[in-house]
Structure 1
């Protein structure tokens, strides 16, 4: 099955489910993804970063299919999803997704106002994810390719929790994914590319 079809099926199976327990938010996973992608579009982000915003929590769906949800264990969704997404997308999509949890830990460390703005669910998950970064972690994070994009994604992530906000449909963002998947792949380190024949 095509990667975009698989993403569509994951949202069909899990997107309507609201975040529950200690991770409870006022909107569903699909609403959160759509709002996050919309915020990226409103910020005139490139299509890869809009896609990353839309896909950043898909790893939660994969984790839910693998194991029972436990509010007191970090499911490491940001790492779990990368091999799945890498089947169709390059690092400009997968790396901001992989780094968005680290970006939260970074922002909490450098921005008191950001830390105070986190929802109770985000505060809970922050504790599971390691809390604010240490100095050495901050230096390593700042040197990573796509760290800046991950920080942008993280800010949209935390704003994308408004009940009832109107957004484009999931089909709008699935079409964007199709366009991205069909673009020639370009290795971000070597600059060498090839047509995506997946």
Structure 2
């Protein structure tokens, strides 16, 4: 099965399962992913960032298949997703996904109003994820190439929790993933792409 097919399978198996306990949100994981990607599109984000917005929580599905979920343990979903997604996506997709939890910790520290808008589930996970960043962590985070994209993704993530909101379908975003995967890869550090190699 190819990567897009596996992503579709993960959403079919886990996307409609509600979060329970302290992780409870008002909508399903699938509705959250669709809303997050829609918000990215409405902001005229690059297709790679729309893909990252859609895929940012896929690591929760991988964690659910690998370990027993606990309200008292951070499942590190943002890191679990990276080896899986790296099989078909470059860092313009994987890095915002990897950094979206750190972006929450960053925003809590730099925006005095940010924490007040977080859902109870997001506040709970924030405590498990280390809370607000230190000064050193802020400096390191801001120096990362995809930090800005991760912060944008984080803000859409926080807004994408509206019950009953109409969105494009799962099939629509799966097709977008295929479009992103079919683009020639360009290394953001060197500027060399697959089509530039002899």
List aligned pairs for 1:54-69, cutoff 5 A.
54-69=54-69
Q: Distance in 2 between matches of 1:88 and 1:136?
A: 33
Aligned to 2:160: 160
Q: In the aligned structure 1, how far is the partner of 2:148 from the partner of 2:155? A: 11
Q: Does 1:135 align with 2:127?
A: no
Whole-Å Cα distance in 2 between the matches of residues 18 and 150 of structure 1?
25
- Any gaps of 5 or more consecutive residues in structure 2? none
Deviation digits for residues 109-153 of structure 1 (CA, Å, limit 9, x no counterpart)? 011111111110000000000000000000000000100000000
- TM-score, normalised via structure 1 length: 0.97
Task: Give yes or no for the alignment of 1:14 onto 2:19.
Answer: no
Map 1:30-179; keep pairs closer than 5 Å.
30-179=30-179
Report deviation, 1:95.
Answer: 0.2
Q: Note the aligned Cα RMSD (angstroms).
A: 0.7
Identify which range, 179-188 or 89-98, moves more after superposition: 179-188
Per-residue Cα deviation, 1:11-33 (whole angstroms, up to 9, x for no partner) = 00000011111010010000000
Q: Within 1, Cα distance between the matches of 2:142 and 2:125?
A: 22
Gaps of 5+ in 1: none
CA distance in 2, matches of 1:154, 1:19: 19
- Cα distance between partner residues in 1 of 2:123 and 2:181: 34
Moved over 4 A (4+): none
Deviation of 1:163 (Å): 0.2
SS at match of 1:10: helix
How many residues end up aligned between the 2 structures?
A: 195
